[in-house]
Amino acid sequence: MSQARGLQNFISDLRNAKSKEDESKRVSKELANIRSKFTASSSLSSYQKKKYVWKLVYAFMLGYDVDFGHAEVVSLVGSAKYSEKQVGYVAMSLLLKAGDSMMNMIVNSIRNDLVGSYDDAATSLALTSIANVSGIELMQALHVEVQRVLVSPNATPAVRKKAALCLLRLIRQLPDSIASADFAPHIANLLQDRHYGVLTSTMSLLIGLTSKHEQEYETMIPYAIHILSTLVLKKSVSPDYLYYRTPSPWLQIKLLRFLQYYPELMSSGEAYVATLKQCLARILNDTDVSDSINKSNADHAVLFEAISTIVVFGDSGDEDLQLAAMRLLGKFISVREPNIRYLGLMTMSRLAVLHNNTNKEQIKTFQSVVVHSLKDADISVRRRALDLLFVMCDQTNAESIVDELITYLVAADAGIREQMVLKIAVLAEKFATSKKWYVDTILKLISISGDQVSDSIWHRVIVIVTNNSDDDLQQYVATTMFDVCSSKNAHVKAVAVGSYVLGEFGFLIAEEAGKSGEVQFQVLHQHWPLIDTNTQGIMLTAFAKMYNLYEEIRPIIDPIFAKLKTSVDVELQQRSNEYRVLGSLGPEIMEDILREMPAFDTQKVSTLEIALDQEHSDTHDVNVFKKKDSEAAKRGSKVQQLQQPEPEILIQPEPEPDLLGGFDEPEIAAIVPPTPPPGNKTSVTCNDPAAVAAGFAKLLSTPQGVLFQNEYVQVGVKQEFRGSQGRVQLFAGNMCRGGDFTNFKITIPEVPYLRTAIQDEMGATNPAGCTVSPKQQARLMIMAEAIAPYSEAPAFTITFETANATHSYPLRLPIVPTSFTEPVTVDKAAFMGRWGQLAPKESQEIVTVSRTVDSAMMQQVAALLTGMKYGRCQEVDSPTTCSGCGTMKTGAKDGQGNPISVGCLVRIEANADKFRVTARTLHPVVSQGVKETFCKALKML
């Protein structure tokens, strides 16, 4: 194999390799050669540096690890030659990651290229690299310079385009990094630029800003309409931006999308409203199918955006435009082209949601066409047809639509079945012509697609049947479920419903021939070996109720209870033992306990509709058709949203607060540690466990404080948590006047219950460590996400050396289960009911405090409960108790992709100088962790 003398030879050698092993050997040989060149010589020529760095980039792109050469990349970025700078920026974008320590060394070079250089090429390289790397520290350090480049009167169109797109990438990561009220005038100036490339990039930026701050950019509406009229009415655009004779279709789409954020625009009475109507009418009337596929796609993209704009304006819009849009949509959902049919169905479903009853009646005339689309070969078209049928359904056509959907459900593929089942259930409940029809519909769903029927669906059947005792619904359902369960092939969900119904209402049909209590028992018991333990628990309760009602079957049921008292399933074991004991307590007590279930609490919102909303809860599609509630801002980059800087515009960012000055008095007298006698270094570690425990306990309920401090080092923490994510800033300061900390390291072992990302400014987490000078700090940013229940706070160790000692401090981060808790407020009945249900998963401990508990200390306990983000339940409390309720959020997902949360209840009871802490949660590990967290905090009161 010939020796490579340049990048082309190296690439050629790799392409000619006969096997993966040969390629790997060649790459390893070349990397070893490059490493030796970088370490042996500090006077490489410009050609050699570029050549070797290009080889590193190429090897990295092939998937090989490249963990050296970063210093040379920094050197190339800072070079005055464009050829070297180009290589440096490309390598930086690929080889350096957001949290690399080398990134701090490169910030000044990038800043010089942004604001200190008159070379457009260098500025463009810097902007592109900032957008590609997307590091939080890099963006925080340079977002002001990017804004300056964008608004600079001396910037060329090419640079402005890149600056606008770079700033768009920045606000997606740090939404509050721009003070919108101050930045709006700069956007207005950019919208007056005559270069359509700048306008297109500016509109992308404006849409991103408007999605976060609509009111601040409402003044941009006249500018957007003026540009739109220039493109649509005057068709005035440079030839470079004519796409198949269509003036800049991408800019038209962005302008229309921006206007959709202001649905009341048409009723504002402003003069520009007439111009907007003309533009929309021209787009609707002049768009036609073209022989050129590219032109047709571009024109129809603009057309559908215009229709979406008309849809958003709703009843305040122009009626003629609405009718024209309706005619076009009716045409589009009938064409053979799947892309156009997909867009037509999606837009018409939006129209049905946002418009009045008159328009909805017009949409219903296309019901047969939409039903036909359910049989389309493209599943995405089928999904949109299902959405449209769902929103066009009302009391007049509910039965026909539900029947059509059930008919199609038999042949539907697995990709759409679950969504169809949920929507059929919602429609059947919402527009039920009779409760019997509703029950029959749900039973059809269970028989056709029982595996896709969620628990919330058949639970609603139980609620509706139980709450309707005035008519013959309960008897009808009991008869129906008896017939369904008589079949040995009944689905497990049908058996669950049948067990509940026959247990509660089977007595209504017990006098009928062939439906006695014994026969009902046999009908249910035949399914026992084939059902899961949850359904067995429901059936066991039904047996207990039959035991109470029919004396003749007690000898048959007694052996079942006796057999299950040693069941491996704890739930079945507990139920069987409790039901066996009931028989010995007397008939009055047993009858009182096993009487009919009372009516369920009615809910304003159906649990099925809640489940339907959750179906799309994780989408990242931010548009004006989605209701932007408080949770919408939490989607996207969840951990990164905790890292938003204070809003500022065109000013240098303020330095971070000094930990040593922030946690102590303004002026601290530095302590010079005593000098030990000459000889080997002494070993220093934590010599005051009580002080360590006190610092840790204080941080359990406060956002910042000192975790540990002695005469050498001070360790402080600032923390913020939202849901299942948190950000913890760790500061370690040198308190000595006598010398540096050398080999300073912070070791944080990985734990299985947290997903962490660490950003290190000084290299304290590197194996080689770093040096911390007197009165200086080492800082870490730890982004953490809970991914599993846990009880123990993660550990970390700080080690360093001074002139005469080796230091090692094992500590724990205050990231405990209560950190990821969100408060929940419940009434007394709900709290006590849940408290009883969670009794088997209880964790309890008695804590002794240093003084007698009084009212003042109970106020501290209440504040502690609130500080740990638990909602108070004062209705159940006495002067000597405090109770709270919360939910621990995790980033783990269940089988359906929903985030897993753990409900938590806490009760703290005082007696003399003791507290009894009781935690009950859905998970025993969390119960233990919550209990231990409160105990540690109470010991410090």
List the beta strands (DSSP E) in 165-250: 242-243, 246-247
**In angstroms, rounded to a whole number, what is the distance separating the alpha carbons of residues 473 and 456?**
20
Residue 58, annotated as binding a ligand: no
Residue 5, annotated as binding a ligand: yes
Judge whether 540 and 564 are in contact, CB under 8 Å.
yes
Q: Tokens standing for 611?
A: 């489940």
Instruction: Give Cβ neighbours of residue 605 (< 8 Å, ≥ 6 apart).
Output: none
Q: Cα–chain-centroid distance for residue 291?
A: 44
Say how many CA atoms lie within 13 Å of 366 toward its Cβ.
Answer: 26
Judge whether 144 and 115 are in contact, CB under 8 Å.
no
**In angstroms, rounded to a whole number, what is the distance separating the alpha carbons of residues 447 and 139?**
56
b/e burial code for range 626-650 (CB count within 10 A of at least 16 → b): eeeeeeeeeeebebbbbbeeeebbe
- C-alpha closest to that of 865 among 791, 924, 795, 915: 915
Residue 37, annotated as binding a ligand: yes
Beta strands 821-823; 725-734: pairing state = unpaired
Residue whose token pair is 């599609």: 621
Spell out the long-range contacts of 900-903 with Cβ–Cβ below 8 A and sequence spacing 24 or more: 902/789, 902/926, 903/824, 903/834, 903/838
Bridge partners of 683?
A: 806
Task: Look at phi and psi of residue 235 and say left if phi exceeds 0, alpha if psi is from -120 to 50, else beta.
Answer: left
Q: Tokens standing for 301?
A: 């993209």
Spell out the long-range contacts of 153-158 with Cβ–Cβ below 8 A and sequence spacing 24 or more: 155/123, 156/120, 157/193, 157/195, 157/197, 157/198, 158/120, 158/124, 158/197
**In angstroms, rounded to a whole number, what is the distance separating the alpha carbons of residues 596 and 521?**
18
Beta strands 914-921; 821-823: pairing state = unpaired
**In angstroms, rounded to a whole number, what is the distance separating the alpha carbons of residues 342 and 323?**
20
**In angstroms, rounded to a whole number, what is the distance separating the alpha carbons of residues 540 and 543?**
5
DSSP assignment of 295-346 equals: HHHHHHHHHHHHHHHHHHHGGGS-HHHHHHHHHHHHHHTTSS-HHHHHHHHH
**In angstroms, rounded to a whole number, what is the distance separating the alpha carbons of residues 680 and 506?**
86
Residue 662 is inside which H or E element, if any? Answer: helix 659-663
Residue 47, annotated as binding a ligand: yes
Bridge partners of 782?
A: 728, 758
- In order of 183, 338, 474, 488, 762, the CA distances from 505 in angstroms are 67, 51, 6, 21, 71
Residue 55, annotated as binding a ligand: yes
Residue 53, annotated as binding a ligand: yes
Beta strands 805-812; 795-801: pairing state = antiparallel
Residue 54, annotated as binding a ligand: yes
DSSP assignment of 132-150 equals: HH--HHHHHHHHHHHHHHH
Binding residues: 5-6, 37, 47, 51-55
